[in-house]
Amino acid sequence: MPIPVAVQSPVSVVMPPLLPPPGAARLMTPPLRTKSVPENVVEICAGGLLAAYFRVSGHTFDRKDPTARLSFTEAQQLHVITAVDNYDRGREGAESEWAWERWHGTCEPREVLVVRESAPIHRWMLDQLAIVRSDDRVRVGYVTRVAIGGEGELGAELQLSLAIRLWSARPAATTLLPLSAAGSNDPPLAALRHDDSPDDKPFLVLPPRTFNPSRVLRSLDTGPDRRYRLTRLLQRGVDFERASFEETS
């Protein structure tokens, strides 16, 4: 009598998913594409708060407290140049150091998507302050993407592309003096003030390591005396801090 033999069903083999080769991660990220809006020429420069102050105000930042006493040499020099309107001894150097780079792409109210046309002048990185000029209007924001163009991406092969997030309010350059304990000689700070807008509450853009809760900064600009008490750190970039404030008497 034949002995029955148990027949096993075939075992299904599950293959592990294929992993991308090293270095292919960047190719799998969503490409940066322009939107269906007209492209135009956009000028951009970097340089932190000093560059932003210069490009927004039209003159270089004076690191000295205007209320401080002048030395004899400074007083003599000021006497000589009083007849020269809008004299700015640092303008020539600032125009060279913080020159505009020429880019092209889209510049919308809150977002810029561009590729560089001109020779490189500045180095770009994420969360870096960026000053943008388009249609004779200067605005400020920060870099959200840096990429080298390739197939399916914005820009030609090896062409640098940037995405920049703009703050909607019009920036105002201001000189601020920290009010510290007696005997402290804190120098004035270059800063930008953005007033209330539909997208953001008022805030200050300050140099790195400036924010301290309840720290008070006094404006040295001409006009009414204005003092800002820092209330909250909103953002920390590589070359700036963004903080909310309340005005105090």
pLDDT at 87: 76
Least confident of 39-48, 95-104, 144-153: 144-153
> Which of 239, 221, 242, 219 is CA-nearest to residue 231?
242
Q: Where are the domains of the chain?
A: 40-62+90-166, 171-248
Q: How far apart are CA 121 and CA 199, in angstroms?
A: 32
pLDDT of 108 over the 70 cut:
yes
More confident residue, 31 or 173: 173
More confident residue, 26 or 101: 101
pLDDT at 4: 55
pLDDT at 55: 97
What are 67's two structure tokens?
């209320």
Least confident of 53-57, 59-63, 74-78, 92-96: 74-78
pLDDT of 242 over the 80 cut:
yes
Specify the pTM: 0.76
| Percentage, residues of the chain above pLDDT 70 | 70
pLDDT tens digit string along 46-72?
999 999 999 999 999 987 655 554 454
pLDDT at 30: 43
pLDDT at 3: 55
pLDDT tens digit string along 111-144?
999 999 889 999 999 999 999 999 989 999 999 9
pLDDT of 244 over the 60 cut:
yes
pLDDT at 202: 95
